Amino acid sequence: MSTILVTGGAGYIGSHTSVELLNADNKVIVLDNLSNSSKVSVAAVQRLTNRDVEFIEGDIRNEDFLTDLLRAHKVDSVLHFAGLKAVGESVAQPLRYYDNNVQGTMCLLRAMQASSARNLVFSSSATVYGDPATVPITEDFPTGATNPYGQSKLMVEEILQDFHAAVKDTGEWGISILRYFNPVGAHISGQIGEDPNGIPNNLMPYISQVAVGKLPYLSVFGNDYATRDGTGVRDYIHVVDLAKGHLRALENLQRGPKLAIHNLGTGTGYSVLETLKAFEQASGKTIDYQFAQRRPGDIAECYANPERALKELGWQAEFGIERMCEDAWRWQSQYPDGFAS
């Protein structure tokens, strides 16, 4: 059993990962400033697992507080989800993004150094591959960012690599960088799920809100990409598969200190129209759509080669697009207004 600090654990991916951690008998402490989430999700996690979670409302940029927390709870491992993630917002407010995502991670690393926590799993993103020359994408593809959010992930990755190089001779530190593709879906209970603020930016939450009648139709951003049907192709991954990937990544660090980088994706891409059709099937609803201009910064195709994660972590995604849509729909139809329902 490990004692694990889950930063950003009230959020979408952190809450689903907490469920898997608790089911595997770990002690979970959630630290979240609730800037993009609700405490209700933590209560739901406890209910679903019948286990206690220590919830602490606070900010990762408060280094002294974080150090005390890690020491007091004798935390050995940190899963670091806390961060801001909206691409458009990052273009408008770059300083806020660098402060939260980069400075926040620096505080966390220093607090870990001042305590005995030595394993860190970091939430990175396929956005660090920029516009890839080819697909599927392997971890050794060149990196590059097209917006401040992506840049903040890349900067943290570089900081983590430099940091690990400096401390690796201690034989103590394990750092795992996980590059998520497009997380979607929800826990099978439909009790926790993605709860975006305002109008969703991302495809699956947008489709879900059209299906439930909150939004009139989906705008499909571009139908002239060089893809099967002209719409953008992405590697959607079920959030529970993603959550399980974190447990395998942590076990990998516990087998021996190292710095590791892994893609977490399914290896299969679906277009916007294919995703919409799959959601119609799962929900039994017709989802209206209109073609619109391409969204600035979007790329045609992005999907993972997930072989390294299989080889080194023994992890691969189990759920396909049908199940992703079924679970997203269960959550959306049970809780049309998310955790405020």
Q: Site mask, ligand NAD, residues 179-218, x = CB under 6 A?
A: -x-xx-----------------------------------
Q: Which residue lies nearer to ligand UFG by CB, 148 or 174? A: 148
Smallest gap from residue 299 Cβ to ligand UFG (A): 8
Count of residues near ligand UFG by CB under 6 A: 21
Q: Which residue lies nearer to ligand UFG by CB, 52 or 131? A: 131
Encoded tokens for 271: 């277009």
Q: Which residue lies nearer to ligand NAD by CB, 36 or 231? A: 36
Which DSSP string corresponds to 284-324? -----EEEEPPPTT--SEE-B--HHHHHHH-------HHHH
The answer to whether 37 contacts ligand NAD (rule: CB under 6 A) is yes
74: left (phi over 0), alpha (psi -120 to 50) or beta: left
Query: How many other C-beta atoms can be found within 10 angstroms of the C-beta atom of residue 50?
Result: 8
Q: Which residue lies nearer to ligand UFG by CB, 28 or 215? A: 215
200, HSE (Cβ side, Cα atoms, 13 Å): 21
**The total number of residues written for the chain in this structure:** 341
Q: Exposed, middle or buried by CB within 10 Å (0-12, 13-18, 19+), for 93?
A: middle
221 binds, among ligand UFG, ligand NAD, none (CB under 5 to 8 A by kind): ligand UFG
Smallest gap from residue 295 Cβ to ligand NAD (A): 15
Query: How many other C-beta atoms can be found within 10 angstroms of the C-beta atom of residue 280?
Result: 15
User: Which residue has 């979670």 as its token pair?
Assistant: 53
User: Which residue has 């955790």 as its token pair?
Assistant: 339
Catalytic (active-site) positions: 149
The answer to whether 302 contacts ligand NAD (rule: CB under 6 A) is no
- Contact segment (CB under 6 A) with ligand UFG among 20-28, 201-209, 278-286, 324-332 equals 201-209
Residues that bind ligand UFG (CB under 6 A): 85, 87, 125-127, 180-182, 201-203, 206, 218-221, 232, 234, 272, 295, 298
